[in-house]
Amino acid sequence: MERYRILIADDDPNIRRVLETSLEGVAGASYEVVSARDGLEAVRLFREGNFDLVILDVMMPYIDGFAACRAIREDSDVPIIILTCRDGPDDVVHGFKLGADDYVVKPFRIGELTARVEAVLRRAGRLSYRREKPAKVGELEVDPVRHRVTMGGREIHLTPMEFELLYLLATHKGEVFDRATLFRQVWGREYEYGRETNLIDVCVRRLREKIERDPSNPEYIRTVRGVGYKIEGPSARPATPPAGL
């Protein structure tokens, strides 16, 4: 059985020990856990090693989990889960703006965390072979088997969360999804109003910055006011009438 390497960063040695023991003992999975005591050590270990998933506590010495997330995301699209005691909407949204894929609020049940780990790895294509066909919309192509996105032949790097959301929209061209449905389909759990109200919007904004020529005037991912989002090709945008008409 192939082993999946997980980097955990938390300044609490008891939490590190519990997470190491629990993850390495998950039935039906094979995880190798490497631990860091602070954000700086986490970034250093990540750059020295090859990891399939990173779990970052927010409150750590030297640099916090948000700063570590930003540094790791500059180098890689590896899945990142944030651990936080600060579960206000602003803190959660900030983590997603930096490129986190999911979050878990302390105190948490080990079963909850391991389920999130499995879900994030599955979204990243690291636990199961995806047999779905590529989705093509205009010049945009999303290939789930190779976990690859191209726009006019140019490869675009997405986080697992961004990839899953884009693939869902691309395979349902023209269909409008509300935020609760998108969250349920991508994250695999029910949408919590308040804490998670802006998470879909943040993810869509990041996707537009990566795939749209002009993110402020998107050609692909369209907003349907009062409802949610849909994806359509550039040709779907109504032509601008000639001046004077």
Question: Model confidence over 121-132: pLDDT tens digits?
Answer: 887 775 444 557
Q: Residue 238, class by beta-carbon neighbours within 10 Å (0-12 exposed, 13-18 middle, 19+ buried)? A: exposed
In a domain, 177, yes or no: yes
Last residue of a domain, one of 63, 97, 123: 123
- Are 38 and 116 members of one domain? yes
Q: Sign (positive/negative) of CA torsion 209, 213, 214, 218?
A: negative
- Are 115 and 145 members of one domain? no
Q: What is the pTM of this model?
A: 0.81
- Are 139 and 112 members of one domain? no
Question: Model confidence over 212-242: pLDDT tens digits?
Answer: 999 999 999 999 998 999 999 886 554 444 4
- Are 101 and 159 members of one domain? no
Last residue of a domain, one of 95, 123, 151: 123
Average pLDDT in the 69-80 region? Answer: 93
CATH number at residue 174: 1.10.10.10
Which domain covers residue 31, as residue numbers? 4-123
